[in-house]
Structure 1
């Protein structure tokens, strides 16, 4: 990863989620809510680090929401997500906005890797749900450590109770088939 203060090239994030054939509408709604919740948590973490770095204080009620640039409802459910910072108080902090999308990509890649490993064992028990939640919590912890090392600050204390809702959202995202950063001129965008 590059330093958080540098502009990165993550313009759009292509995400593929396997919802099986003929998903129910509430499944799609739940996946959207999980992605939005995870995005907000990554934004919150980025805001915390921006303040530690002494750049500026951020107001969470003004965070730029994820926008769906394109989606296909066929299985897998493909989404192209975009986060526009233009027109927000953080328009001059493009690196932060791109960093949030990059952070979301990082967490989803960790989940995709875990999904691929667990697909082989494919046991559907409470134990698997707990393992998914534990992995999600570890992913959030690892993300905070990577971000801290990028900007050269001490990793803030990790409060599991603060991270639990985001970890739960990450663990409940369906099996990921694709997580890729794509530029605006990519035909898939």
Structure 2
């Protein structure tokens, strides 16, 4: 993907940004808060991070970023240090296609900064060129996270409803 292709992606994203619904801050939950709520129910932090990323890629969970921009540079740390450029899109819904179109998403997830809400997604194109999508201050819809949490709590209550911990090897499923 050339620099022009990255610029075209930004232009398309700007056009679609006006179509996304505006949510108040009270309706959104920071990425670190969502991770804190869910990690006990999904096998730890790493499994929960992967689950949330997969849900975004599948379109099952809406995520929003305060700033969004793209670049074709390989170095990640200097781009984060520089911050969003002047032309960065503000208040953008993250499109599921960005996540599902990445062949190296698992490697990217390991480098995300959940405490600060800094996510990036890398697309590797033919010829070795790349296009990186940067999202700053990522947040999730509070209602969706609470629904996921309630569903998981209900599943846990069903497993432990007799008071004892569920022993799958002894009782089966």
Same fold (TM over 0.5): no
Structure having greater relative contact order (Cα 8 Å, sep ≥ 6): 1
> 1 or 2, which has the higher strand percentage?
2
- Higher gyration radius (CA): 2
